[in-house]
Amino acid sequence: MTTVKDVLIFEALENDKKYKEEKNLKKAESKRELKLSKAREKQVNTVANMKNRAVKVQKGNIIKKAKKTNQTTLKKKKRIELLKRAKQVVYARDKNICQHCWVACTWSNRHASHIIPVSATGRLALYPLNMKVMCYHCHINWWHKNPIEAGKWFESKFPERLKELERLQLLIPMWSITLQELEEIENIISEQEKLYIK
């Protein structure tokens, strides 16, 4: 027979059980909320870090590109300056006389013609040794239109110079040129200027 006391104890136990279950549910829910908020925070941080990294990489690339552009621009300017100086040396060395027809050349009739073409070796284009004075007609209508005949003519007229150019062509790498190498070429041109330009 159940007494009132037993019923009260049973109800108290049931209430305690419900209370503990609710408490455990609330704990589990708060843990889940905490995990979710940490995951969201981590995701936000990851996205922010990725954006920061992307910005840093982009800034790094921009800086590298700017440095490369500056160096490239500097090289171009240096090459243009050295080519002008080399031409002046050639004009002075050959006394503004066409080396083929012996006509005096001035202004637009005077060309500093390359022996080994610029397309064959970029660096030799800056060497005064690789240039000669020619009038417009001999340069355009004879040198470029009759390369075999022109090559034989040059070999018979300047055999030592041709040997030196062929030696340089083998020694000097073709295209990629550093600022240091441009300075070495500048020294060569400076020595030639002392010899021919007073």
172-196 pLDDT, tens per residue? Answer: 766 677 788 888 889 999 999 998 8
3-class SS at 166? Answer: helix
**How many helices (H) and strands (E) in the chain?**
5, 2
Full-model pTM: 0.64
Q: Would you list the DSSP string of 102-168?
A: --B--GGGEEEEESS-TTT-TGGGG-GGGEEEEEHIIIIIIITT-HHHHHHHHHHH-HHHHHHHHHH
Tokens representing 188 are: 């060569």
List of the chain residues with pLDDT < 70: 1-2, 4-8, 10, 52, 54-69, 121, 173-175, 198
